[in-house]
Amino acid sequence: MRAHSDYNVRTGDHRVHDRRRWDPDDADREPVPDDIPYDSLAHPYGRLAHPQGRPGDGSQGHGHAHHARTREFVSHGRRTAYRQGLSRWQITVLAAVILALLITVLALVASRGGPGWPPSVATVQAEADRACQNPDVASEPAQVNFACAKPTRQILWIFALMMSGNTPNFADATTGRMGLEPITPTQGGEIAWSLNLHHPYNPTDPIDSLAVAARAINNIIGGATLTSGNGTPVVQAGLESSAANCVRYTGSPSLDSRQGFPSLCARPVAMPAGEAALVADVYLKWFVGAGPQAAQDAAVLFENANNPGDPQVQSILTKLTSSRPAA
């Protein structure tokens, strides 16, 4: 066997040694002795480390190539595998589709909705806001304004709902009652005079009717100072002029009293239970002839102004729609 010009090959023992090629990694390795048999340099699976016989011609041995391919496969997967992700445009379209589906589902749920107030309630709420712009709706002279205060203003549309089904042109031929509040046009006109309305009182005008109702409710709560026929001032007590009532409304019997003014609870009516008790008492005086059950219904509606789905509320609404309350 003839030795290759680039290698020193011994024909006797078939040993191979490349004296020109050196790799930096070889610095830490022990040199291969010249007396190692050629066959021992073969790959464990039967192939030579350099099957082409020329490790210096740019080709890699089978063992090195095998491990390199394994490393590449583990790190990056097969080159032929599909590894392309969604583009930004595709992600945008997908997000838009998901958002559209979500909006559709929410719209369907909202359209089904749950039990709520009659549609007329929203109308009367807006009308009550306008009526409460009148600066004279507070009681005189104590300036109690429970009916138009923001936290308790629902008393107006709740009472209107119970008395007339929120129908401004409600009229009862038996009693002569017209409008939203349970008083006769004559009584309403007397109250309207104290409201300084800019036109004659019209009981079928919801703004006029609600303003009169607000002043009447506030007088019932805070009392009023009236002028008798001979010109003498007369102090008319309100619900808050009673120590026993103040215990129910505020938890304290303390009263504030001034000469010429109705007495008032020393503590403000702020507790939900106290407000509900006050609403029930007002209803009994506001609607002459109302029974305790109707007054309790008014208190329940007041307490659940933001929760029309309450079973008690729905039961009361069903009862109201089946029969309009008598005036």
Residue at 1 is within a domain = no
Band (pLDDT 50/70/90 cuts) for residue 53 is very low
Share of the chain above pLDDT 90, in %: 38
Rounded Cα–Cα distance for residues 14 and 226 (Å) = 134
pLDDT value of position 69? 58
Residue at 6 is within a domain = no
Domain boundary among 104, 129, 157: 104
Distances from the Cα of 127 to the Cαs of 81, 157, 160, 235, in angstroms?
A: 70, 9, 11, 32
Put residue 165 in one of left, alpha, beta given phi > 0 → left and psi -120 to 50 → alpha: left
Give CA 210 to chain center in angstroms.
Answer: 31
Burial 197-229 (b: 16+ CB within 10 A, else e): beeebbbebbbbbbbbbbbbbbbbbbbbeeeee
Burial 61-73 (b: 16+ CB within 10 A, else e): bbbeeeeeeeeee
**Number of separate domains in the chain:** 2
Q: Domain range for residue 42?
A: 27-104
**What are the pLDDT digits (tens) for 152-208?**
999 999 999 998 887 777 777 776 666 677 666 677 777 777 777 656 778 888 898
Band (pLDDT 50/70/90 cuts) for residue 326 is very low
Instruction: Kindly state the greatest CA–CA separation across the chain.
Output: 151
Domain boundary among 104, 130, 154: 104
292 and 151 belong to one structural domain: yes
Residue at 9 is within a domain = no
7: amino acid identity, one letter: Y
**What are the pLDDT digits (tens) for 217-247?**
999 999 988 777 777 778 889 999 999 999 9
193 and 250 belong to one structural domain: yes
64 and 153 belong to one structural domain: no
